[in-house]
Structure formats: C-alpha cells, structure tokens
Structure 1
Amino acid sequence: MTVHLAHYLGLLHRAQLTLADAFRQVAAAHGDEPDIDLLCRQQAERCDDHAARLEPFARRYAEDAPEEPERLHSELFRGTRTGGIGLLRDLQDLYLMAAECDVCWTVVGQAARGVRDRDLIEVVTSCDAETAIQLAWLRTRMKAAAPQALVVAD
C-alpha cells in the first residue's frame, strides 16, 4: 500500500515550491549582494524543476490516497529581513527549508526502493544530490556572512 508515500510526495512537492518562492524572496530582498541575487534565483529554478519532476509520481501514487493529514506541511519561512543580520537569518531559514527537503528526499527514496519504482529512484537520486549542493552553498554563504553580520554594526 502506497497511501503514505502519496502524502510524502505531496509534502516534498510543496516543500520544493515553498523553497523556490523563499529563494526568490531572498534574492529580491538582498539584491545588493550580487551573488545572492544570481545564485538564489538559480536555486529557485532548481527547486521548480524538482517539483515538476515529482508531479507524475504524485499523481500516480495519489490515486487511492485519502486527504492529507492535518499539519503535514511545516512553515519555516515567514518573509525576509533587512541588513547583514537579516541576510544571515534569511540564509539560515533557507538552509532549514532545504534540510527539510533533504530529509524528505531520503524518506521518499527509501519508499521508492521499497516499491521498486526505478523511475522515482532515479529522480530522487538526482534531486537529492542537487539538494545537497544547495545545503553546502547555503552553509558556505552563511560562513561568509557571519563575521560582517555579527561583528560589524550595520
């Protein structure tokens, strides 16, 4: 029975779309940082692609699934902040959202192996690797932003 797999695919799909939107908001709010604008927009496109790649599987496994349970989706991002400390906090929020996606990719990947869905396994493997790159970039960018944000006043 793949009822719960459908729920997790829905969770992951929504998490990717929410992360894409958050990346775009951070790009717009911190456009004075050239790398933030460009790289956040690129990461948003990557998240959109991940969501699009999940859609066929969400449809396939949702055929007999009941409605999603309450509180399935988390809400980690509530908008951008300003200044150096704001950038650092926004990057941290993005990191937590990407980490949620990372965990979901792991769970969905295990389920895909359980149902022997080779196509889903292929999507999970590819997207999970790209999510790991997002996490690494966000961690590196937070390290770069921290000294300015925490030691030097705005």
Structure 2
Amino acid sequence: MKLPVYIGLLDEAEATLAASFRVVADGHGDEPDVHFILQTLAQQCDAHREALQPVIDRYGEEVEGEEEHRLTANGVTGVRSGPLALMLDLQDLYVLVHHIDVTWMMVGQAAQGDRDKELQAVVKQCEGDSELQIRWLKTRMKQAAPQALLVAE
C-alpha cells in the first residue's frame, strides 16, 4: 500500500503551506487584508494537519524505501520587494495550494476505494478549504494585477 506516502506528503505540504502563508502575511503587513486572511489560512492548514493525525496514526506516513518517490514543493521562505512583490508572492502561494489540492483529490480517491469513511470526511473538509484558499488567492491577485502591471514603475 502506497497511501502512507501521500498521507505523509499531505502532512508535510500543509506544514509548508502554513509556514509560507505566515511568511507572506508578515512580509506584506502593510496590506491588512492580506496579513489577516493569510494568518487565517495558515490556521486552516494547522487544522488540516490535526485532522490528518488520526489517519497518520492508523496508516503511517512513510513506507520504508519510498522516500525518493515523495513529491515536494518548496515553500516561501522570504518575500519580494518592489511593485510586483505582492502579486508574485501570492502566485507562489497559489502554486503551493494547487499542489495540496490535487494531492487531497488523489487521497480522496484512495479513501473511496478503501471505503475509509474517516479519511473521506477529512478529505472532504480539507479539500473544500483548499478550494476556498485557491479562490481567495486568485481574487486577490486579480485585484493586485492592474496596479502592479499597469501603474507601477
């Protein structure tokens, strides 16, 4: 069974995304909506990891010899400066959230195949949150784009 590899991937990815949300929130504190919403989204990621813990306890999160097959996405460790900074930093977060969203989808398919109701419930909640994160990031990038791309010098 390879499901533990993807469960471990989700746990790591949610931790990376939470840290990345916090880095961008702190780095763009001059944008109050960005700061507070990204802090809230980071807390969602923390909650996802907590919800995943009983599943990790049951399935594990690593399989001996499978570490080289793990997909990883680098997190945001610093913010940019300049007129494009916010938009580019949000775009990095957008890529990370999509990575997690598709991983939740695949784990959800496995949960259905295994008829694991507990994991299906976790996936349903977390996948829904990921979709909301994607929508907020997309909307905020749309809001920032005209100023950043047309007005900034």
Shorter-chain TM-score: which interval?
over 0.9
Q: Distance in 2 between matches of 1:63 and 1:107?
A: 15
Q: What letter is aligned with 1:75?
A: A
Question: Corresponding residue for 1:116?
Answer: 115
Match of 2:68 among 45, 55, 70: 70
Unpaired segments of 5 or more residues in structure 2?
none
Deviates more, 1:56-65 or 1:141-150: 56-65
Q: Distance in 2 between matches of 1:144 and 1:72?
A: 35
Q: Cα distance 1:45–1:64, how it changes in 2: closer, same or farther (>3 A)?
A: closer
Question: Corresponding residue for 1:21?
Answer: 19
Shift of the alpha carbon at 1:84?
A: 3.2
Q: Distance in 1 between matches of 2:5 and 2:102?
A: 14
Confirm or deny: 8 A CA contact 2:13 2:73 kept in the other structure: no
Q: What letter is aligned with 1:42?
A: T
Shift of the alpha carbon at 1:124?
A: 0.3
Question: Corresponding residue for 2:3?
Answer: 5
Confirm or deny: 8 A CA contact 1:76 1:93 kept in the other structure: no
Q: Distance in 1 between matches of 2:73 and 2:48?
A: 19
| Alignment RMSD (CA, Å) | 1.6
CA offsets per residue over residues 37-77 of structure 1, 9 Å max, x none?
00000000001100111111122112883243215132333
TM-score normalised over the length of structure 1: 0.92
TM-score normalised over the length of structure 2: 0.93
Q: What letter is aligned with 2:124?
A: T
Q: What is the percentage of aligned positions where both structures have the same residue?
A: 46
- Equivalenced residue count is 152
Confirm or deny: 8 A CA contact 1:17 1:48 kept in the other structure: yes
Q: Cα distance 1:41–1:73, how it changes in 2: closer, same or farther (>3 A)?
A: same
Unpaired segments of 5 or more residues in structure 1?
none
